Amino acid sequence: MSDERSSVPIEKVEQLILLIRDEKVILDSDLALLYGVETKALVRAVRRNRERFPEDFMFQLTNQEVIRLRCQIGTSKGRGGRRYLPYAFTEQGVAMLSSVLNSKRAILVNVEIMRAFVRLRQMLSSHADLARRLAMLEKKYDSQFKVVFDAIRELMKHPEPEKRRIGFVVEKASDR
């Protein structure tokens, strides 16, 4: 087989990976889009082969999780919509999909998805490795460089989004 690539950029796949129930997953509708099939066709193929998809490969979202996702990614209910709750596929579930969706495109897309999961895992482990090395250096050089280590640790933190206050601000007479 030649070294063909799917037409799906790995960066796009990485954006579709979500963290739900402490698992990195991709939703059925996003996978269907990548594979070039309808979501209902993908779900139908999975249901026909249910024994291949245990809970650690695929799970169905709850109403609460769907509501949280809608708030997170800013999608609306819209017209039409789905009649069932979406399925979330873990890395192993996505790998199993290539055997259920037996097409050349499914295989090529699966390769790109696996690469995205691996890249994400590498980024997470390198971040953990950096934090571990920083802790070792901090112990070694103690208080001499405490300010430097604190500054580096601050730079490594994920910035929390600024929360806007809702409501009106009442000016006091002394503020005027």
Is the entire prediction scored with pTM above 0.85?
A: no
* pLDDT tens readout for residues 22-75: 888 999 999 998 888 899 989 999 999 999 999 999 999 999 998 888 876 655
**Alpha carbons 25 and 55: distance in angstroms, whole number:** 12
DSSP classification of residue 57 = T
For residues 137 and 149, the answer to whether their CB atoms sit within 8 Å is yes
Residue span of the structural domain in which 45 resides: 10-124
Based on the structure, what is the number of domains in the chain? 2
Tell me: do 20 and 98 sit in the same domain. Answer: yes
The answer as to whether 172 is a domain residue is no
The answer as to whether 166 is a domain residue is no
Tell me: do 89 and 149 sit in the same domain. Answer: no
Tell me: do 111 and 133 sit in the same domain. Answer: no
